[in-house]
Amino acid sequence: MNNTDKKNTATLILSCKDQKGLVAKIAQFIFQRGGNIVDLDEHVDSDEKMFFIRVEWDLSELSISCQQFEDEFKNLADEIDAKWEIKYSYNKHKLAIFVSKYDHCLQEILWRYKNGELDAEIKLIISNHTTLEEIAKRYEIPFYYFPITKENKHEQELKELELLESYKIDTIVLARYMQILSPLFIEKYPNNIINIHHSFLPAFVGANPYKKAYERGVKLIGATSHYVTEELDEGPIIEQDVIRITHKDSLNDLIRKGKDLERLVLARAVNLHINNRVLKYGKKTIIFQ
């Protein structure tokens, strides 16, 4: 099912210790209450003996309210000692995009958004520079400028958080935002801040990864999109990709090819997140296809 096919669905994301009959129990529960399953993906980690599932079902013939469904499902979840959440297609994710001066990731996301490929609402763009304001105007998305210095960073972040709350933002996308967010943000938006790192993590962390890769003579370069945690570039990975390079490629070639990867990897990661296909598990993620 793609985004344009979605009408009125609910999605369950669940994890628990592996037990017999879990898929049958969950599917039967949904069926008995009038839900029609349209997508199901499950995985068992045989080493950890953990069970993970994503189930999406049509709500049009549900025999009870969504709240009643959740109240009743809690009994089943408690019985199997599960962590779970249910998301509804009519509650679209509300995104804020943070940018600095580079435009390629922002352009990719906004282009896909305009073409209906991102089933979310981009409510605003925040930047520590005014460089990309014209792009925001072109797409008619509110743009907010917060210059950041060592002296005013805490004060400015408090203002940004207040603004995000006023827009009811649930997800932040760092589209090459060249600032390190403070623990204030991470605490407020756990597993809901998506970053793009211009390297195939865990290799070449930190600044200037293309220069480091060029000097090392690597044959592949990559890009990594991950959730932001307090440990720099150590958050759970959502999406990655690589491209082959040769000795003929200059540093500028690496940067050019890397930018192509960055914009595509970030867009794919955002799409996975807003379609509730990512389950964080320890330092890793389960990606439901």
Whole-Å CA distances, 116 to 2, 179, 195, 238, 243: 11, 29, 22, 22, 27
Helices 209-216, 251-274: axis angle to 10 degrees equals 130
Determine the Cα angle at 252 with ends 251 and 258, to 5°.
Answer: 90
Indicate the average pLDDT of the chain.
92
Domains of the chain listed by start with CATH number? 3-88 (3.30.70.260), 93-287 (3.40.50.170)
Handedness of CA 245, 247, 248, 252 (dihedral sign): positive
Structure tokens at 11: 């999605």
Q: Read off the pLDDT of residues 245-279 as tens digits, 9 standing for 90 and up.
A: 888 888 888 888 889 999 999 999 999 999 999 99
Q: Which structure tokens are listed for 189?
A: 């938006």
pLDDT in the model for residue 205: 62
Percent of the chain whose pLDDT exceeds 90:
78
Inter-residue long-range contacts of 21-30, CB under 8 Å, 24+ positions, other chains counted = 22/51, 22/53, 22/80, 23/53, 25/76, 25/80, 26/53, 26/55, 26/76, 27/55, 29/72, 29/73, 29/76, 30/55, 30/57
Catalytic residue among 233, 249, 253, 260: 233
pLDDT for 55-68, tens place per residue? 999 999 999 999 99
Q: What pLDDT, on the 0 to 100 scale, is given for residue 2?
A: 42
Reported as a pLDDT band with limits 50, 70 and 90, residue 211 is: confident
Q: What is the pTM of this model?
A: 0.90
Q: Any catalytic annotation for residue 45?
A: no
- The tens digit of pLDDT for each residue in 138-196 reads 999 999 999 999 999 999 999 999 999 999 999 999 999 999 999 989 999 999 999 99
